[in-house]
Structure 1
Amino acid sequence: MSSLTDRYLAATLRAVPAPRREEIATELRASIEDMIDDRTGGGQDAATAEREVLTELGHPERLAARYADRRLQLIGPTYYLVWQRLLRRLLSTIPGAVGVLVGVVQATVGDHPGGAIGSGISAAIQTAVQIAFWVTLCFAILERTDASLKLPEWGVDQLPEAPVERDVRLTDTCASVATILLTLAFLPWQHFRSWVSGTGGERIPLLDPTLWRSWLPVLAAVLVASLVLEVVKYRTGRWTWSLVAVNALLDLAFAVPVVWLLLTERLLNPDLVARFSWLRDGDGLGIATRVSVVVVAAITLWDVVESVVKARRHNAPRHDG
């Protein structure tokens, strides 16, 4: 575990401009060491002196603001950091979740599935605006009325651990989550909003409707579990061997039933096959099946191999040259 000073420096430097980080790090570390030496020279214990010095320096983000000559002020500085932290957390989760939910509902049960993406984006933006307005208004009122939230004083025990290099990036996680959500939404969408119509104008589901009593709920459950895995993986920040094993199991739990249903000609709706001559006549269905099996197997193998490679790279012993 890193020392309190290292953690304090890491927390402070995160909030200062990148070009000045090295300069500030050198200056701040030297100042802290001098202050600790002054106290230990008077007979104080080094660990106690370090804690007292860092406590006197105050919250790392406030110190960083002084270095960067940046004001921490909404209406006043009292609750600025609390407002900033709360707003970041709310805006990083709620608008996206609302947008995805609205988009999925619009695509599956709404009257205009084609506008699902636009509806989701619009809902996310409106939610973000509402959150920013009401949270800011509440904190502005608190500042102007001098209301006390009786927040605990900052102490060195609140310092986060020094940041570690992440092997799982937010962009990759967002892409994976979006893909899983689209696949999950496709299951009910293809049943109720299929783009294929029969001779009488009725919608023809793409997948065999009888699978709703057997395999489709299982596949949906696997997708939900995969969503949970993506969240856990991002919070962990790297591939561990246990995550690799769970990922491989989920990949196989989805791929094996799909391949089996394809090979036994039970995945596609028989009415869909009968609707298109290129599937119905000759070996059209067989060719489509073989291509689909190869694609599913390739995607599954790629995902498993990629997770193993990343886990080995992260867990490989490092030698200092």
Structure 2
Amino acid sequence: MEWIDVYIHEVTKRLPEKQRNDIALELKSSILDALPENYSLEDVKAVLEDLGDPAEIAKNYRDAPSYLIGPDYYDLFMTTMKMILQLAIGFAVAFIFFEGVITYLNSDQDWTYIFTAFGKGIWTVISTAIQVVFWVAIVFIIMERTGVAPYEIAGTGEKWTPDDLKNITVIPKKKGITKIDIFAAFLWTAIWGTIYFIALDRVGIYTQNNQETGLTLLTPIFNQELLLSFWPLVLIVLLCELTLTVYKWVKRQWTKSLATINTIYQLLYTILFLLIILQPNLFHSNLINELSQLFNTTTTSISSILDTIIGVSIAITIISAVYASYDGFKKSKIKNDTLL
């Protein structure tokens, strides 16, 4: 990747997405106009050095002034705040989720408790965000008042030079792993892990007798004793899934090693799924009878429907695992853009 392109990328990544293309074209035109006809690498470096730090250029392009913290500290402040916000809110949501599940299971709360827990979760997220913004702002205000330079805060100890572009790796969008993907993976692991180990007996068919009593469990769906007998294997798969998600968080892009770990996880998950779903006594003993009475049909019809659901679930799981493995290796082969 050309030095000019890397420099422009470092500028535009700090700008709103809708402005990036126009500003990239404008900035590239300005740089090329400043270069001689047969320019060399040294000419490019000289022009880029005259332009200065990409963060400063991006700040000048913004529509709104960035004076929450002093202009020289704004980009570093926003980066730090976003990073801490993600961690703090993530831990807060996880804590509220597990606390809500445990409270629900250990009390006589009905299903309406979900709304109470949801409201509490929203307030916790808001209060956590306020605390993070406040304390991070205080820290940066103190740093600015004491005269600490932004590049010293960032830990480089040096001012920006064009040679810093050599250390920049531009990850293509198709190869990158977004924060939303990582958060969704953590959330999914927390949900199914909690249901399996804590709330498996609550997964069932519910009926509402009247408004006062609320929902009543008619029958569990699964044979809880059978499913819990697989807990060592489930725990292994759960830990593998967490390891995979953490590794994604660290790498932030698909690599060959990540794709290999993903394939191993997909294989383990598929094997465990098949071991469980092919058990003849997978469902609760009362499920078929209760469903036949509920829908006014025969037990044979219900059994046939359940067999179809099992077959479709197996097909979807295998196809999804194969595609996820293939897609991981495919993305890992996409080359990053770099000057080196």
2:265 equivalent among 250, 267, 275? 250
Distance 1:69 1:289, change over 3 A: closer
Which residue of 2 is the match for residue 216 of structure 1? 231
Deviations 1:93-127 (A, max 9, x none): 32133213311331244455524444433322221
Alpha-carbon distance in 2 for matches of 1:24, 1:88: 27
1:303 equivalent among 320, 328, 338? 320
Distance 1:252 1:148, change over 3 A: closer
1:20 equivalent among 23, 36, 39? 23
> What is the CA-CA distance between 1:212 and the residue it aligns to?
7.4
Which residue of 2 is the match for residue 146 of structure 1? 146
Which residue of 1 is the match for residue 338 of structure 2? none
Counterpart code for 1:90: I
Greater shift in the superposed pair: 290-299 or 187-196: 187-196
The answer to whether the 8 Å contact 1:262/1:289 transfers is no
TM-score computed with the length of structure 1 as normaliser: 0.72
Q: Which has the higher strand share?
A: 2
Gaps of 5+ in 2: 207-215, 336-340
Distance 1:190 1:177, change over 3 A: same
Alpha-carbon distance in 1 for matches of 2:330, 2:148: 50
Alpha-carbon distance in 2 for matches of 1:55, 1:278: 77
TM-score computed with the length of structure 2 as normaliser: 0.69
> What is the CA-CA distance between 1:89 and the residue it aligns to?
1.2
Greater relative contact order, per chain length (Cα 8 Å cut-off, separation 6+) = 2
1:164 equivalent among 136, 158, 172? 172
Which residue of 1 is the match for residue 138 of structure 2? 137
Distance 1:153 1:138, change over 3 A: same
1:185 aligns with 2:184: no
Alpha-carbon distance in 2 for matches of 1:100, 1:266: 34
Alpha-carbon distance in 1 for matches of 2:95, 2:245: 18
The answer to whether the 8 Å contact 1:108/1:193 transfers is no
The answer to whether the 8 Å contact 1:244/1:304 transfers is no
Distance 1:309 1:277, change over 3 A: closer
Which residue of 2 is the match for residue 63 of structure 1? 57
Which residue of 1 is the match for residue 97 of structure 2? 103
Counterpart code for 1:162: V
Which residue of 2 is the match for residue 43 of structure 1? none
The answer to whether the 8 Å contact 1:190/1:206 transfers is no
Alpha-carbon distance in 2 for matches of 1:244, 1:161: 20
Alpha-carbon distance in 2 for matches of 1:276, 1:95: 42
Distance 1:176 1:248, change over 3 A: same
Aligned to 1:251, the other structure's residue is in SS state: helix
1:225 equivalent among 210, 232, 240? 240
The answer to whether the 8 Å contact 2:177/2:248 transfers is no
Distance 1:102 1:297, change over 3 A: same
Gaps of 5+ in 1: 41-45
Alpha-carbon distance in 2 for matches of 1:163, 1:248: 22
Give aligned pairs, total.
301
The answer to whether the 8 Å contact 2:223/2:282 transfers is yes
> What is the CA-CA distance between 1:63 and the residue it aligns to?
1.6
The answer to whether the 8 Å contact 1:13/1:25 transfers is no
1:122 aligns with 2:104: no
The answer to whether the 8 Å contact 1:98/1:127 transfers is yes
Aligned to 1:302, the other structure's residue is in SS state: helix
Greater shift in the superposed pair: 261-270 or 89-98: 261-270
The answer to whether the 8 Å contact 1:103/1:119 transfers is no
The answer to whether the 8 Å contact 1:102/1:120 transfers is yes
Deviations 1:48-82 (A, max 9, x none): x6556544533211122224465443343343222
Q: Which has the higher helix share?
A: 1
Greater shift in the superposed pair: 102-111 or 83-92: 102-111
Alpha-carbon distance in 2 for matches of 1:182, 1:242: 27
Aligned to 2:169, the other structure's residue is in SS state: coil
Aligned-residue sequence identity (percent) comes to 21
Distance 1:261 1:213, change over 3 A: closer
Distance 1:263 1:215, change over 3 A: same
Which residue of 1 is the match for residue 213 of structure 2? none
Which residue of 2 is the match for residue 85 of structure 1? 79
> What is the CA-CA distance between 1:263 and the residue it aligns to?
3.0
Alpha-carbon distance in 2 for matches of 1:30, 1:162: 25
Output the aligned Cα RMSD: 4.1
Alpha-carbon distance in 1 for matches of 2:260, 2:143: 50
1:76 equivalent among 64, 70, 79? 70
